[in-house]
Structure 1
Amino acid sequence: MKEFEQYSDIEIIQRILNGQLPLYEILIRRNNPYLYKVGRSYNYGHEDTQDLMQDTFIDAYNNLSKFENRSSFKTWIVRIMLNNCYRKQQKFSYKNEIANEINDQSIPLFSNQKQSDINKIIMNKELNSIIENALQHLDIDYRMVFSLREMNGLTTKEAAEILNISEANVKVRLNRAKAMLRKEVEKSYTTADIFEFNLIYCDAMVNNVMSKLKVINQ
């Protein structure tokens, strides 16, 4: 498997479509962190988020032949995850507030000047609680832009494509989200410390998805 890890997503997809199903594990591992952060930012708990991730990976596999490489695979699968989150939200009649006000300046939320022990911060439940509670108070439009840009590292163009809004609106919503969150978060924390999908969960996700895909392909 390691010999294929340096392959691009497109090369791996082509090999999967040609019958090399085990290589799908690479795509799962590459995208686990992004999907997890999207689910948590949608205010789903850990278990619900994992269920949504599993559904998303299976949906992506079932539609892999339809992937046209017009955008990155990451952008494509994150969009599938967002659609699954939205459908689950609608199913349970959760309120989906829409925000309209925008501002065109973007100011960094976190400072990278201070060095920190990432592993210790990941285990810091107080930090996780601060971030999660703060995000829950944001309207979904701002919350998802923040998740895609700050937590998942997508470009403005990628986020705009996923959310079907203009790049200007992405910048505007991101700035407002940062302004709302800045009061709650210490500047010494980095976005890499938030909502980490730890290796133990990653391995379990790979095993669960690959087991289901083997059944599908029997």
Structure 2
Amino acid sequence: MKIQEKYTDKELIDKVLNKENEMFELIIRRNNPYLYRIGRMYHFSHEDTQDLMQDTYIEVFIHLHQFENRSSFRTWISKIMLNQCYRKTQKWHSKHMESLENNTQVFDNLHDRETAHNVMNKELNSVIEKSLLNIPEDYRTAFTLREINGLSVLETAEALEISENNVKVRVNRAKTYLRKEIEKFYVKEEIFEFNLIYCDLIINQVMNKIKEL
């Protein structure tokens, strides 16, 4: 069992609140993939997303005592990341957005299952990511939280401050924007994957800032 899987969110929070600040590293490791996907689905580049993640973790650490356990911790931290993304989007608009090429024709010339399978293995993640980024923001956000980050309908509704029915509608509409070929083969854990190479970097940056607080 990985050490970050040894403790529940509540146990980790209690330890950090009891001045065991080193345990905050486990909170970071546990949530890195989820926060990374949120930043990327907002069109932010890899580098900008890492900056937003770092800012989110600092906010989480400072305000950890305010977590009341009324919703899941993942919902709470996702909402903080969403707010960070929203503020950055409002401030910088499209200046810091990553430009994407249009890959809408990627499947058009596939004539048989074998060819489709070979191309899928190489291009799947890129196609899915770019397709998701072309979905209207409201639908894309709900889809990312619900289908990729694995929040429940209720948790997604709480994070976005909308009704559960609205979550279902937005997720269903998001799916209609995705090509059938993509929907058949996507692997949610690999979409906007946060490479472990960057995990330690985020941890070191956040933990160093925490020491300065």
1:151 aligns with 2:122: no
Instruction: Flag the structure with higher helix content.
Output: 2
Does the 8 A contact of 2:4 with 2:29 survive in 1? no
State percent identity of aligned pairs: 58
Shift, 1:189, TM fit:
2.8
Q: Once the two structures are superposed, what CA deviation does each residue of 1:107-158 show, in whole Å capped at 9, x if it has no partner?
A: xxxxxxxxxxxxx96xx4x323312221222111001011001110110000
TM value normalised by structure 2: 0.82
Shift, 1:191, TM fit:
1.4
Aligned-residue Cα RMSD (Å) equals: 2.0
CA distance in 2, matches of 1:17, 1:142: 36
Structure 2: unaligned runs, 5 residues or longer:
95-119
Does the 8 A contact of 2:40 with 2:46 survive in 1? yes
Runs (4+) of structure 1 exceeding 3 A deviation are 2-5
Determine which of 169, 182, 185 is the counterpart of 1:185: 182
Q: Once the two structures are superposed, what CA deviation does each residue of 1:85-126 show, in whole Å capped at 9, x if it has no partner?
A: 0000000135xxxxxxxxxxxxxxxxxxxxxxxxx96xx4x3
Shift, 1:186, TM fit:
5.7
Task: Name the counterpart of 1:75.
Answer: 75
CA change 1:186–1:93 in 2 (3 A) is: closer
1:135 aligns with 2:154: no
TM value normalised by structure 1: 0.81
CA distance in 2, matches of 1:150, 1:47: 24
**What pairs up with 1:160-179 in 2 under 5 angstroms?**
160-179=157-176
CA distance in 2, matches of 1:49, 1:197: 10
Structure 1: unaligned runs, 5 residues or longer:
95-119
CA distance in 2, matches of 1:176, 1:71: 26
Task: Name the counterpart of 2:105.
Answer: none
1:89 aligns with 2:86: no
CA change 1:172–1:14 in 2 (3 A) is: same
Q: Secondary structure at the match of 1:165?
A: coil
